[in-house]
Amino acid sequence: MSRLADAVVVVTGGGSGLGRTYCESLAHEGARVVVADIDGDSAAAVAGALDGQAPPRAVAVAADVTSEAGAEAIAQTALDAFQRIDVLVNNAGSYPHVAFEQIGYDDWRRVMSVNLDSVFLCSRAVLGQMKAQGEGSIINVATNLVWTGLAGMVHYVAAKAGVVGFTRAFAREVGGYGIRVNAIAPGAVVPDVVMTDAARERIDAIVNYQCLQRPQRSRDLVGTVLFLASPESAFISGQVITVDGGLTTH
């Protein structure tokens, strides 16, 4: 039997990159998937590739996760299509590389909004339904950089540190309703594209410090997300699981 048979899973930022990988893997395990992305065409393409069945197994929604209206639209799309929400994967994010002195306040607020405010807004949007069901799993995507820091990404690391704090506090607040809240902290995921020599050198330097000395791929995160989404993690909440090949150990 599939690990997530008929579970309804919402994935933000599901139209590309890691989000797309999560959607594909969740659907493979039997989940019904809501692909949410600000790029409606990308979301529709992913949902279309996962669907083709009646009743539908995947739906797309174009929404801005930094707005209350966008977050509410995502939750309502899930309820209209599937009548429940079992899992929320707060994956949407933005990670610009900018020196601190070049970060304007508008830039700071934008990165905070995409990476942290969206977690608050989307979690709030699904909370009522999860409370009514008496169960649910919220999976927030942080980064291993919250343990190490990184020059040139102060706003991103600060936002993701906020995600870690949110995860721990929110887990305590909603545990009484049977809702679990956890986070995954990935390392540097190598994209499936041709990289510049400089990018390759940065990846090589990271790999040299890992316990497992190979580049991290998106598939390396799938097992942890599936675990946190499934009943296998039914007694785990408030945790941050780092998946970075042992670059950080704590």
DSSP H helix total and E strand total for the chain? 9, 7
Is the CB of residue 158 less than 8 Å from the CB of residue 103? no
Supply 127's token pair: 């909370």
Is 156 marked active-site? yes
Rounded to the nearest 10 degrees, how much is the dihedral formed by the CA atoms of 24, 157, 171, 134? -30
**Could you say which of 22, 95, 105, 156 is catalytic?**
156
Rounded to the nearest 10 degrees, how much is the dihedral formed by the CA atoms of 10, 8, 218, 232? 130
Helix, coil or strand: residue 87: strand
Name the residues annotated as catalytic.
Answer: 156
